Amino acid sequence: MIMKAQSDMMDSELGREGSDGGNDVAVRAYNLSKVYKLYDRSIDRLKESLHPFRRSYHRDFYALKDVSFEIRKGEMVGIIGKNGSGKSTLLKIIAGVLTPSAGSLEVNGKVSALLELGIGFNPDMTGQENIYFSGTIMGYSREEMDAKVDDILAFADIGDFIHQPMKTYSSGMFVRLAFAVATKIDPEILIIDEALAVGDMFFQSKCMLLMRKMIDSGVTLLFVSHDTSAITNLCRRAVYLENGMVKTMGEALSVTDQYLKDMRRLIYRASPECESHVQELLSSGQGVSPRNQDWILAGDDPGDAVGAGFEKHGNQTASIGSLGLPDGLCAGMVFKADPSFAERVQPYRYGTGGARVMAMELLNQQGEPAMAFHFNEWITVRAYIECYKEIDFLNCCILIRNRNGIEITHTTSFTSKFKFPILKAGGRVAVDIRFRNIYKGGETYTIHYTVNNTEQIETTEIMDLIELAAYFESLRDENNQIYYLIYYPFQFHYTIL
């Protein structure tokens, strides 16, 4: 029953026809398991091997358990999971470095793997000797490797160190040569396991460009990384491993979002004492008039804004009209607590609960609620925040992503050097973040919103993180076509000489 259930999930999630795909399958795993015997004492291994009645002194540890999936030729599949989830074990089995304890594995194509640093290379041999050694393992003759070695050396770009033993290499030099060898010997299936993390920025960019070219040529890619942006940019599908088992698989963006939610859930959990206050406010369903001593509207620099003015409320300063909105729009605002907003974002929010976004709205240039915006129009994201403890360093952040999950722009009040006053427990604040719509038209964008307590970046307390807080549409403008992610006002100049 379990085997059938996992197979059904595989077909439905990955959108495949089943197990009769024929030669179109690059990798197919079915109920793949890898078990290690763990002994509490070294002597227990000997006692178990000599015991006349085969008494067991070990316990089984499943690095992989009943893993099933199917990858078609030419697909780009990311594999994610926290450390110890079985990612490297799975790739080593596919690469032939390890053998499975149970289950079946079908691999169709020449596999080239860039696994942990050191695997596949002899540290006592020179870099050039290891190039030929790797080629021999892959089934190439010396003459065939002679034709490839110049490309490998040019891509690795480690100079005369190619003639030195690899045990003298830095980790960066090691991965340069390893990646060059793995990609330049014409693999049909390329496996990359986090090794690129040790390379410099230029080399990483060069590797990404080469991998894209290989993908375009039909190479199958299995890519492990903790960088979810890299996975969503490179891969169409992803497999999420947890405790050696497949937790979910499918479209890369949805899988990486699930992974990020799980990771944040481990770190930030809402404080139980705050939950009762949140539920009490939401259950009332009533707007609450702002208490002056806790009110501040955060916007652009008031000195640069239309109709900028300040009003003093107790010990706090509120910026009124600093967004260039119609006169009187900010005055008389009431605090909003929207139960439908809380219900919608509940699956996507995490945090300590020290403060909560109770409602959110998007406003156009006229200060009216809107979901679609014209090119270059001002967009205001207004968040109504309730504090459940004293907050010394309020820090509000937004991240904007497109429909493919690519992170486009990001800002925080902390990095913008915008300072809020100290907010006391029970305080309420409406925060406006304003920006122009410079995004490609005809697309929908999501807004991720975070409320932090940030004295220093290293000690940030994430009080409320909402991954899908709002979304908006950028309307097409025939007079201002944007062909890439965003519009930026570059300047041109010429001099006739």
Does residue 137 belong to any structural domain of this protein? no
Looking at the predicted structure, is the pLDDT value of residue 382 above 90? yes
Q: Do residue 429 and residue 362 come from a single domain? A: yes
Q: Which of 204, 233, 266 is the last residue of a domain?
A: 266
Instruction: With a cut of 60, say whether residue 294 has pLDDT above it.
Output: no
Q: Which residue has the higher pLDDT, 367 or 281?
A: 367
Q: 486 in a domain, yes or no? A: no
In tens, the pLDDT along 10-62 reads 443 444 434 444 578 999 999 999 998 888 888 878 877 887 778 887 788 89
Q: What dihedral do alpha carbons 88, 91, 93, 96 form, nearest 10°?
A: -120
CATH of the domain at 35: 3.40.50.300
Is a pLDDT exceeding 80 seen at residue 441? yes
Global pTM reads 0.65
Which carries the bigger pLDDT value, residue 114 or residue 326?
114
Same domain, 100 and 228: yes
In-domain check, residue 121: no
**331 and 443: one domain?**
yes
Same domain, residue pair 248 and 301: no
d(CA 162, CA 160): 5
pLDDT digits (tens, 9 = 90+) for 99-115: 999 999 999 988 988 87
Q: Of 266, 292, 313, at which residue does a domain stop?
A: 266
User: Are β-strands 237-242 and 245-251 bridged in parallel, bridged antiparallel, or unpaired?
Assistant: antiparallel
Return the pLDDT at 15: 40
What token pair was written down for 358? 């109770």
Confidence of residue 199 (pLDDT cuts 50, 70, 90): low
State whether the Cα torsion 173-179-180-182 is positive or negative: positive
Determine the pLDDT at residue 372: 94
Does residue 471 contact residue 369 with C-beta atoms inside 8 Å?
Answer: no
Grouping H, G, I as helix, E, B as strand and the rest as coil, residue 361 is: strand
Q: Give bridge partners of residue 32 from the DSSP assignment.
A: 67
Name the domain count of the chain: 2
Q: How far apart are CA 315 and CA 389, in angstroms?
A: 18
Same domain, 259 and 320: no
Q: Convert the pLDDT of each residue in 444-480 to its tens digit.
A: 999 999 999 998 877 788 999 998 899 999 998 888 8
DSSP reduced 3-state for 419 = coil
The dihedrals phi and psi of 465, each to the nearest 5 degrees, come to -115, 125
The band of 129, judged by pLDDT with boundaries at 50, 70 and 90, is: very high
Computed over every residue of the chain, the mean pLDDT equals 80
Instruction: Output 284 or 129, whichever has higher pLDDT.
Output: 129
Mark whether 418 and 435 lie in a shared domain: yes
Q: What pLDDT is stored for residue 330 in this prediction?
A: 56
> Are 230 and 277 part of one and the same domain?
no
Q: 453's torsion region: left (phi>0), alpha (psi -120 to 50) or beta?
A: beta
Is residue 282 in some structural domain?
yes
Q: 46 and 192, same structural domain?
A: yes
Whether 57 and 76 map to the same domain: the answer is yes
Whether residues 25 and 82 share a domain: the answer is yes
* Residue 479 belongs to some domain of the structure: no
Please give the pLDDT value at position 286: 43
Residue 78 lies in a domain: yes
pLDDT at position 116:
66
Range of the domain at 8: 2-109+188-266
The Cβ of residue 492 has, within 10 Å, a number of other Cβ atoms equal to: 4
Question: Are residues 312 and 429 located together in one domain of the fold?
Answer: yes
Residue where a domain stops, chosen among 235, 266, 297 = 266
Q: Does residue 79 belong to any structural domain of this protein?
A: yes
Q: Which of 66-75, 279-288, 289-298 has the lowest mean pLDDT?
A: 289-298
CATH number at residue 326: 2.70.50.60
Which parts of 286-354 are beta strand (E)?
A: 297-298, 309-313, 316-320, 349-350
Same domain, 89 and 234: yes
Is 239 within a domain? yes
